[in-house]
Chains A and B, each alone.
Chain A
């Protein structure tokens, strides 16, 4: 380095140091950092890819103890997928799917427990069988609709398999978001496996004569009650003396409120007669109102598509619900579904009606999974009886597996759907302790393995089947979210002291506005389609149509 170089270097260094001391970025540091940043950006792509691959590779198949009922069900699912019977839907799906090895399927699931099944069990097993990877996209329930639509509008092809509420099927089908499965079913499915669906659920994905998915979650409400209280001789005697009737699971909603009040009067504050999830935004209000309203003879819409809420059935329903609230645990109107489970499992409540996991939790089966340890241990295991909800129980939402119309791998996606909903695989999934997938196939209700999960599992399954025989479906039509929201607002306003009749009128006005917004004729068409489904009204339940399943 000559003198001039040394001088230049010294001057540059001094400028750098001075700039550093002043907190300024010099051209040199800017260029250096810009280079570093560019380098990092360039490197981040492959690094992220490697990390994603690593994360996907971490998904390992979790299998239960091979001697347990769940372990046996999982082994049976694996065997049916690998060895057949050759005409089984699981086997046929796997065989055909091997041609798509290496494909990654993007599938939406409700965030949380629902997503554990594809992450820990069905996804890894499918990969093991076919070489196809699965990417689980966890979404909140409303986003399972809105994201699917948004991605369809964008034409991104981001999803292959969608978990959707049956109520959304008409909108998604008409909007071109989901694709019909009829051709694939004809090509790949064993028709006997379609007949294995309980009749209430079989028709749920059907719309305008086409099949738009596979039903995959039997969310049937059922009554869970404390047998030790209902069969306590002292309680039975006191009830007989007071009402001249036998104490037992209620058959009508009036009787339900009466029994709840009786138990509260006898046992509070140790135990209260009933509990409900009535918190605003908690879906308990809409499901409960809809089941009682229709059981009381209420019509959702008139022939002119005006809301039928303002009726004797509406007032009677709200009056009954108020009576039940009054007989319930303090804070009843502030409970959500999980708080209600906590109250029931800790023995504070004698009767609840809710989704099927209630039975598995009450038996302490669900809590064997660490993923669900936010639910308290059951203090009532072995003391719980099962009954059909008075009148007609609500099938409270459920899930359909649907094929995204924009899927870049539609056949591969379909084959996954066929496999995961096939009788042996779906049984193993429904039996996972952390699963929120509930039995829906006739073979599930009859399963000896499921019946061996906990001591009263057979009674539990029989009750779910019997409930489905007389169960009612949520309205399946566009605007369902709006109609449900109006019911929730109406109910919670009444719980807070609003006049039931006036609240019904407000809700009816909101329903009419929703119908007008979506088009009266169009909505009438959808409603007419809905009424064709078994379980659409209390007059055409599966049982009344002569299709009841006897186990």
Chain B
């Protein structure tokens, strides 16, 4: 058909092209003639192929310098002597890890970290959810109240600690005075030196600052639930409690887990408020893992022991993170 077509319309030129065997360079010559780029040398082709690596190299090097190198260096430090008071950097094997594992203060600080962060986050979650449920519906002044509610999020934890110290510290803080007036009998609580009040104080400060975080995340989750579900439930005459269990909770599940994961990861690093409010005391009663590592590293200058402790703490944290993230990934949106 082509031959016939050629004979009819193209006549000689096309038939001659089809009859003679095509040269491999013919196309290139024609492309050249059409203004195509010249053929590159082998070196140029190679350079062109790898140019992308040159472009990303600065970013990769920066990441390596800022994260991988310190991480590897800290791993090295945890196996050597790196102590401002003991000269030399001799290899000491697992000695630094052993010191941490057999230090009763380290074990206590880990327990306290789990306990304090667990309780704080649980309270923050419940309060945050209640506030979010309250604020999800529109009412006059909602915007102002929401703005006020999230203010603690923007305050440095050090300032939060200082503010609560001023409120609770005897003899200048007004808390005991106010409680005395309210209860009608003298209140002499040592908020930062007596058990269990010192833990109560730390939890109050943490809850005050971080409940808004829970609130914001959960409110975002609540507003994303399709309103037609609630309308259908209303038409079916379902009560509020059933609506919460059957609609709100399942839809909010992933956001709840997300909020809990983020907050828990932050809470186990609790340091600033403790540093300001109790100084780790009395004794070592308010040593969290972070405070313990700070003390060993920067008060006692046993840097290699503190680094080994940090690695152990990182492993514990990674386990928790892995569990939570696994759970988070398994959640299917309803």
Interface residues of A (CB under 8 A from B): 142, 145-146, 149, 171, 174-175, 279-282, 329-331, 333-334, 339, 342-343, 348, 478-479, 481-482, 485, 488-490, 492-493, 495-496, 498, 503, 517-518
**Cβ–Cβ contact B84 & A492, under 8 A:** no
Partner of A482, one of B193, B280, B281, B300: B300
Residue-wise interface mask of B (179-200) relative to A, using a CB-CB cutoff of 8 A (1 in contact, 0 not): 0000000001011111100000
Interface residues of B (CB under 8 A from A): 84-87, 169-172, 188, 190-195, 278-285, 295, 298-302
**Cβ–Cβ contact B280 & A280, under 8 A:** yes
Residues of chain B within 8 A of A485, CB atoms compared: 295, 299-300
Task: Knowing A145-B84, A171-B85, A331-B171, say if A496 contacts B194 (CB, 8 Å).
Answer: yes
The residue in chain A whose Cβ has the minimal distance to the Cβ of B280 is A280
**Cβ–Cβ contact B283 & A333, under 8 A:** no
**Cβ–Cβ contact B193 & A496, under 8 A:** yes
Partner of A496, one of B169, B170, B195, B302: B195
Shortest 6 CB-CB contacts between residues of A and residues of B: A280-B281, A331-B170, A493-B283, A281-B279, A496-B282, A280-B279
Residues of chain A within 8 A of B278, CB atoms compared: 280
**Cβ–Cβ contact B301 & A492, under 8 A:** no
Query: Complex Cα distance A492/B84, Å?
Result: 27
Query: Complex Cα distance A281/B192, Å?
Result: 13
**Cβ–Cβ contact A142 & B295, under 8 A:** no
The residue in chain B whose Cβ has the minimal distance to the Cβ of A348 is B171
Chain B contact residues: helix, strand, loop or mixed: loop
The residue in chain A whose Cβ has the minimal distance to the Cβ of B295 is A485
**Cβ–Cβ contact A339 & B172, under 8 A:** yes
Tell me, rounded to whole Å, the shortest Cβ–Cβ distance linking A362 to chain B: 19
Residues of chain A within 8 A of B295, CB atoms compared: 485
**Cβ–Cβ contact B85 & A280, under 8 A:** no
Mind listing 22 A-B residue pairs with CB under 8 Å? A142-B298, A145-B84, A146-B84, A149-B84, A175-B87, A279-B192, A280-B279, A280-B280, A281-B279, A330-B171, A330-B188, A333-B190, A333-B193, A334-B193, A339-B169, A488-B281, A492-B193, A492-B282, A493-B283, A496-B193, A496-B281, A517-B86
The residue in chain B whose Cβ has the minimal distance to the Cβ of A493 is B283
Residues of chain A within 8 A of B172, CB atoms compared: 331, 339, 342
Query: Complex Cα distance A498/B279, Å?
Result: 18
**Cβ–Cβ contact B169 & A334, under 8 A:** yes
**Cβ–Cβ contact A343 & B301, under 8 A:** no
**Cβ–Cβ contact A490 & B86, under 8 A:** no
Tell me, rounded to whole Å, the shortest Cβ–Cβ distance linking B47 to chain A: 20
Tell me, rounded to whole Å, the shortest Cβ–Cβ distance linking A327 to chain B: 14
Query: Complex Cα distance A171/B283, Å?
Result: 27
Residues of chain B within 8 A of A282, CB atoms compared: 279
Query: Complex Cα distance A511/B92, Å?
Result: 22
**Cβ–Cβ contact B190 & A281, under 8 A:** no
**Cβ–Cβ contact B301 & A481, under 8 A:** yes
**Cβ–Cβ contact A518 & B299, under 8 A:** no
Tell me, rounded to whole Å, the shortest Cβ–Cβ distance linking B302 to chain A: 8
Q: Which of A146, A175, A280, A478: most chain B CB closer than 10 A?
A: A280
Task: Knowing A142-B299, A331-B169, A481-B300, say if A280 contacts B84 (CB, 8 Å).
Answer: no
Residues of chain A within 8 A of B84, CB atoms compared: 145-146, 149, 171
**Cβ–Cβ contact B87 & A279, under 8 A:** no
Tell me, rounded to whole Å, the shortest Cβ–Cβ distance linking A285 to chain B: 9
Q: Which of A145, A334, A518: most chain B CB closer than 10 A?
A: A334
Tell me, rounded to whole Å, the shortest Cβ–Cβ distance linking A343 to chain B: 7
Residues of chain A within 8 A of B191, CB atoms compared: 334
**Cβ–Cβ contact A518 & B193, under 8 A:** no
Query: Complex Cα distance A287/B162, Å?
Result: 25
**Cβ–Cβ contact A490 & B283, under 8 A:** yes
Residues of chain B within 8 A of A488, CB atoms compared: 281
Query: Complex Cα distance A493/B192, Å?
Result: 13
Query: Complex Cα distance A279/B165, Å?
Result: 12
Residues of chain B within 8 A of A498, CB atoms compared: 283
**Cβ–Cβ contact A492 & B170, under 8 A:** no
**Cβ–Cβ contact B285 & A496, under 8 A:** yes
Partner of B171, one of A142, A329, A493: A329
Residues of chain A within 8 A of B193, CB atoms compared: 333-334, 492, 495-496
Residues of chain A within 8 A of B190, CB atoms compared: 331, 333-334
**Cβ–Cβ contact B282 & A281, under 8 A:** no
Tell me, rounded to whole Å, the shortest Cβ–Cβ distance linking A346 to chain B: 10
Residues of chain A within 8 A of B279, CB atoms compared: 279-282
Q: Which of B188, B279, B283, B295: most chain A CB closer than 10 A?
A: B283
Task: Knowing A171-B85, A481-B301, say if A496 contacts B171 (CB, 8 Å).
Answer: no
Supplied contacts A171-B84, A333-B193, 10 more A-B pairs, CB within 8 Å: A280-B279, A280-B281, A330-B188, A331-B171, A331-B190, A333-B282, A489-B283, A492-B193, A493-B284, A495-B282
Residues of chain B within 8 A of A174, CB atoms compared: 87
Tell me, rounded to whole Å, the shortest Cβ–Cβ distance linking B293 to chain A: 14
Residues of chain B within 8 A of A281, CB atoms compared: 279-281
Query: Complex Cα distance A518/B301, Å?
Result: 12
**Cβ–Cβ contact A489 & B284, under 8 A:** yes
Query: Complex Cα distance A517/B284, Å?
Result: 21
The residue in chain B whose Cβ has the minimal distance to the Cβ of A175 is B87
Residues of chain A within 8 A of B171, CB atoms compared: 329-331, 343, 348
Residues of chain B within 8 A of A330, CB atoms compared: 170-171, 188
Tell me, rounded to whole Å, the shortest Cβ–Cβ distance linking A404 to chain B: 16
The residue in chain A whose Cβ has the minimal distance to the Cβ of B84 is A149
Tell me, rounded to whole Å, the shortest Cβ–Cβ distance linking B236 to chain A: 45
**Cβ–Cβ contact B299 & A493, under 8 A:** no
**Cβ–Cβ contact B298 & A146, under 8 A:** yes
**Cβ–Cβ contact B281 & A489, under 8 A:** yes
Query: Complex Cα distance A424/B86, Å?
Result: 40
Residues of chain A within 8 A of B85, CB atoms compared: 171, 478-479, 518
Residues of chain A within 8 A of B298, CB atoms compared: 142, 146
Query: Complex Cα distance A478/B84, Å?
Result: 10
Residues of chain B within 8 A of A279, CB atoms compared: 192, 279, 281
Q: Which of B171, B278, B301: most chain A CB closer than 10 A?
A: B171
**Cβ–Cβ contact A493 & B188, under 8 A:** no
Query: Complex Cα distance A492/B278, Å?
Result: 11
**Cβ–Cβ contact B170 & A493, under 8 A:** no
Residues of chain A within 8 A of B192, CB atoms compared: 279, 334
Query: Complex Cα distance A334/B279, Å?
Result: 10
The residue in chain B whose Cβ has the minimal distance to the Cβ of A509 is B104
Residues of chain B within 8 A of A517, CB atoms compared: 86, 302
Task: Knowing A330-B188, A333-B193, A479-B85, say if A496 contacts B299 (CB, 8 Å).
Answer: no
Residues of chain B within 8 A of A490, CB atoms compared: 283
Query: Complex Cα distance A381/B125, Å?
Result: 53
